[in-house]
């Protein structure tokens, strides 16, 4: 332990602690911009590029960046001297001197960390004027948008992309006014190896990186009397969107959400969790088939488009391993454009399929050529949790005061297994509940596979199924996925089934979820909310979903059958 004084207050912290983290122990707030510490999610950004967090250290001539300066025995630190406050203000004004002043129409207005600091420092004039950098906006992707003029070179996105996710799609170029973070060779995003996981968006303090918006497209569809507009909502949305209305993280707003969507004017409101149960039916069949034949093992889950992009770009030789199942979003979309349209007597071209997702990669996934039915895309537009919150506020819907309503049938019924798809480990746990009963013919009394839960990067478990030990693993975040895939390539993997989610913590931490100050604690609360829903469900196994059973009887045939395979599976190249 190291003993020091911060603003004349004694504090004792472990060796290696930064001044910034030591100050937190005394509830001394030091403003920062580039710094981000998410150790539990395997991310610490300590590039000290903004210098907003400078402090005075007795005996040193220069001010020290508190985010990158480790404490030492007997250190005496001042965080609020005239010199410190003047330096912080000047640094902030210099950053603002090369930043657009279009806050009113900025995608991140009121959520921007730079904007908030400017307000806290009382900056209401532009002190430094002169040359400004000029860069074109990158709109090449259907999922992500880059506005380099709003980049403040904090390098958080670079740390997330390269060190945490190990995608290596972003890097820094140039110096001074030419400094910019961009894909290799300054190419547009669509020509890079970006997987669209959206984690760069979730850590960007400004609007230099945002998701591509489809709010106006959605409104246009709703107000078109010739269209039947159907919406589906992902599991992770119901435990996060409440934060946008002042509710605590993890608060369950399932019924209020269904009511709010109806007030917006959607013709039908469905639950993507139904699609998750459908995914379990198909994926469990595939898992059992591969384990029985002992081929193409381990089988890798395929619900996350960011993760599927990752294996395509970085491990193409292993592309035979992922399940061929579409994601719950796409399965639900397919059923909307086929089964539902047919049942309601609608022309498929008159049906508009909207999905509300916690994920930015889902925007990319919806536009893939192989995700079409009857000549139209299964999902026409994807809006994020943040976008839906803006739309609800636009029509005066406050979820705190909405009544509890049910989703519409036939695709509103779901199980606890489908709900936990939103948390890391949830897809695997849901699949195991069905795989166990299908392979053994016995009722699984304890459905909680707690060994695959948690925020650890890689989690392992073994399940005895009819005398056969099934070894499973969960990888949370693409950096951890890389570790598992390298094991498979080396031939040292012992696993039979592996779940991978691109975002650390799973979909609850997706790039489209509400921005939050305390990311780790917020993610934990959102996950807890999903498992609370699961525990409270009368039916907790996907193969017991009555509506899914009827869907097979009336339309799909059987899991893994010809029609199910034609509509609910894809092939990867």
Domains and CATH numbers, the chain: 2-96 (3.10.20.740), 130-211 (3.30.70.20), 216-568 (3.40.50.1780)
Average pLDDT (170-186) is 86
> Which region among 35-49, 188-202, 251-265 has the lowest average model confidence (pLDDT)?
35-49
Long-range contacts of the stretch 17-21 (C-beta < 8 A, 24+): 17/70, 17/71, 18/46, 18/66, 18/67, 18/68, 18/69, 18/70, 18/71, 19/55, 19/57, 19/64, 19/66, 19/67, 19/69, 19/70, 19/71, 19/75, 19/77, 20/53, 20/66, 20/67
Q: What is the pLDDT of residues 481-492, one digit of tens each?
A: 999 999 999 999
What is the pLDDT of the chain when averaged over all its residues? 93
pLDDT of residue 81: 95
In the predicted model, is pLDDT for residue 34 greater than 80? Answer: yes
Q: What is the pTM of this model?
A: 0.93
Q: Is residue 371 within 8 Å of residue 305, measured between CB atoms?
A: no
pLDDT of residue 358: 97
pLDDT of residue 372: 87
In the predicted model, is pLDDT for residue 573 greater than 80? Answer: no
pLDDT of residue 43: 66
pLDDT of residue 410: 84
> Which region among 3-7, 34-38, 183-187 has the lowest average model confidence (pLDDT)?
34-38
Q: Which of 251, 281, 270 is nearest to 329 (CA)?
A: 270
Average pLDDT (134-141) is 91
In the predicted model, is pLDDT for residue 44 greater than 80? Answer: no
Torsions phi, psi for 326 (to 5 deg): -70, 165
In the predicted model, is pLDDT for residue 277 greater than 70? Answer: yes
Confidence bin at 127 (pLDDT 50/70/90): confident
Q: What is the pLDDT of residues 407-443, one digit of tens each?
A: 998 888 999 999 999 999 999 999 999 999 999 999 9
pLDDT of residue 248: 96
Long-range contacts of the stretch 453-460 (C-beta < 8 A, 24+): 453/423, 453/424, 453/425, 453/429, 453/531, 454/424, 454/425, 455/40, 455/41, 455/424, 455/504, 455/505, 455/520, 455/523, 455/524, 455/527, 457/42, 457/483, 457/504, 458/483, 458/484, 459/425, 460/495
pLDDT of residue 41: 67
pLDDT of residue 40: 67
Torsions phi, psi for 532 (to 5 deg): -65, -40
> Which region among 239-248, 265-274, 460-469 has the lowest average model confidence (pLDDT)?
460-469
In the predicted model, is pLDDT for residue 174 greater than 90? Answer: no
pLDDT of residue 418: 95
Confidence bin at 375 (pLDDT 50/70/90): confident
As a whole-number percent, the residues of the chain with pLDDT over 70 amount to 99
């Amino acid at each position: 332990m190291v003993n020091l004084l911060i603003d004349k207050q004694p504090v004792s912290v472990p060796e290696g602690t930064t001044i910034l983290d030591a100050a937190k122990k005394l509830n001394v707030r030091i403003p920062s911009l580039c710094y981000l510490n998410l150790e539990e999610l395997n991310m610490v950004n300590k590039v000290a590029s903004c210098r907003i967090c400078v402090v005075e250290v007795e005996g040193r001539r220069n001010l020290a960046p508190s985010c990158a300066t480790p404490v030492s025995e007997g250190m005496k630190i001042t965080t609020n001297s005239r010199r410190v406050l003047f330096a912080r203000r000047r640094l902030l004004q210099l950053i603002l001197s090369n930043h657009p002043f279009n806050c009113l129409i900025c995608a991140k207005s009121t959520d921007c960390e730079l904007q908030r600091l400017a307000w806290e420092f009382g900056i209401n004039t532009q002190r430094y004027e002169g040359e400004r950098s000029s860069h074109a906006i990158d709109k090449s992707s259907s999922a992500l948008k880059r506005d380099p003029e709003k980049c403040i070179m904090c390098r958080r996105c670079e740390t997330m992309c390269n060190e945490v996710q190990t995608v290596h799609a972003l890097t820094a170029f140039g110096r001074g006014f030419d400094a910019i973070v961009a894909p290799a060779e300054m190419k547009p995003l669509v020509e890079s190896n970006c997987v669209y996981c959206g984690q760069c968006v979730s850590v960007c303090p400004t609007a230099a990186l945002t998701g591509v918006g489809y709010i106006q497209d959605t409104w246009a569809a709703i107000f078109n009397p010739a269209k039947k507009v159907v919406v589906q909502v992902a599991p992770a949305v119901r435990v996060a969107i409440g934060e946008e209305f002042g509710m605590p993280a993890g608060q369950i707003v399932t019924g209020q959400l269904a009511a709010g969507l109806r007030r917006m004017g959607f013709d039908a409101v469905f639950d993507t969790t139904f699609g998750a149960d459908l995914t379990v039916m198909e994926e469990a069949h595939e898992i059992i088939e591969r384990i029985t034949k002992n081929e193409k093992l381990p089988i890798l889950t395929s619900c996350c488009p960011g993760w599927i992009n990752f294996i395509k770009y970085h491990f193409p030789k292993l592309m035979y391993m992922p399940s061929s199942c579409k994601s719950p979003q796409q399965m639900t979309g397919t059923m909307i454009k086929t089964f539902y349209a047919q049942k309601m007597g609608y022309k498929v071209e008159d049906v508009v399929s909207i999905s509300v997702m916690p994920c930015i990669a889902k925007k990319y996934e919806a536009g893939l050529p192989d995700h079409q039915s009857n000549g139209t895309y299964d999902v026409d537009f994807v809006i994020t949790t943040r976008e839906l919150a803006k739309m609800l506020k636009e029509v005066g819907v406050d979820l705190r005061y909405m009544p509890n309503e049910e989703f519409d049938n036939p695709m509103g019924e779901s199980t606890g297994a489908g709900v936990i798809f939103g948390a890391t480990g949830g897809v695997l746990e849901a699949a195991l509940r069905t795989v166990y009963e299908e392979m053994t013919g016995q009722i699984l009394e304890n459905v909680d596979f707690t060994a695959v839960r948690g925020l650890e990067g890689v989690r392992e478990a073994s399940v005895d199924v009819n005398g056969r030990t099934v070894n499973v693993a969960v990888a949370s975040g693409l950096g951890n996925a890389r570790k598992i895939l390298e094991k498979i390539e080396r031939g040292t993997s012992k696993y039979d089934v592996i779940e991978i989610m691109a975002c650390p913590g799973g979909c609850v931490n997706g790039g489209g979820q509400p921005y939050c100050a305390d990311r780790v604690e917020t993610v934990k609360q959102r996950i807890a909310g999903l498992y609370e829903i699961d525990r409270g469900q009368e039916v907790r196994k996907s193969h017991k979903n009555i509506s899914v059973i009827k869907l097979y009887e009336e339309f799909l045939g059987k899991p893994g059958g010809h029609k199910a395979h034609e509509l609910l599976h894809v092939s990867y190249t």
